[in-house]
Amino acid sequence: IIFSYLLLLLFLVALYLWIIRSLKPLKILQQQIQKVADGDLSISFKVKGSDEIALISNELEATKEKINIILESRTLFLRNLMHELKTPIAKGTIATQMLSSEKQKKRFTSIFSRLESLVTEFALIEEITSVKDKKKFKQYRLVDVIDEAIDMAMIDGTNVCVDIPAGKMIKVDFQMYATAIKNMIDNG
């Protein structure tokens, strides 16, 4: 009877170790998915084999490659769009200098300067929304980010009331998020 119990116990331990070993690829897959979720698209999910875990891993690899293609297409489109917007602005700025009326010259210069700053802000907003590189993200006090946004918006900060818990910290790219908050202030 003791021998039977020991044999059964040995069998259960071996079964437990086999199950743990067979689930290890799932743990690795979960860690890889977490890295991709954090923005690291260099992770490869490719696995040899034909079991369910390998099939899921290979499908994740194909999906990741499609996402990379879409992101590259988006980036190329936005770069071309920004270039196409900046070209007429630059031409307009040059043409403005040829105007004889100082009043008209100042008016058009401010219009083209505003358009140029909008294009730059659009580029920053695109960068914020894509956020592929989180290396620039650091801990900042939220109040400092908002103060920078108020300065960028060139408004009187004494009229701004923001209810922020004291010492509230956020992990962001300071310049990008200050610009985003400045845009919200401008839109408000």
Q: What is the DSSP string of 23-40?
A: HHHHHHHHHHHHHHHTT-
Q: What is the pLDDT of residue 133?
A: 58
Q: What is the pLDDT of residue 15?
A: 96
Q: What is the pLDDT of residue 151?
A: 86
Q: What is the mean pLDDT of residues 176-185?
A: 81
By C-alpha distance, which of 166, 180, 173, 168 is closest to 142? 168
Is the model more confident about 182 or about 9? 9
The whole-model pTM stands at 0.56
Q: What is the mean pLDDT of residues 135-164?
A: 81
What is the tens place of the pLDDT at every residue in 92-138? Answer: 989 998 988 999 999 999 999 889 888 887 877 777 666 555 667 88
Question: Residue 119 has what DSSP assignment?
Answer: H
Lowest mean pLDDT among 29-43, 65-79, 148-162: 148-162
Residues in CB range of 157: below 8 A, 6 or more apart: 147, 150, 151
Q: What is the pLDDT of residue 108?
A: 92
Query: Would you tell me how many other CB atoms lie within 10 Å of the CB of residue 89?
Result: 17
Distance CA 98, CA 139 (A): 48
Q: What is the pLDDT of residue 111?
A: 92
Q: What is the pLDDT of residue 155?
A: 80
Q: What are phi and psi of 132, to 5 degrees?
A: -85, -35
What is the tens place of the pLDDT at every residue in 28-38? Answer: 899 999 888 87
Q: What is the pLDDT of residue 62?
A: 93
Q: What is the pLDDT of residue 154?
A: 81
Contact status, residue 53 vs residue 47, Cβ threshold 8 Å: yes
One DSSP character per residue, 120-177 reads: HHHHHHHHHHH---GGG-EEEEHHHHHHHHHHHHT--GGG------TT-EEEE-HHHH
| Residue in the block written with tokens 């962001």 | 172
Q: What is the pLDDT of residue 129?
A: 67
Q: What are phi and psi of 168, to 5 degrees?
A: -60, 120
Is the model more confident about 134 or about 6? 6
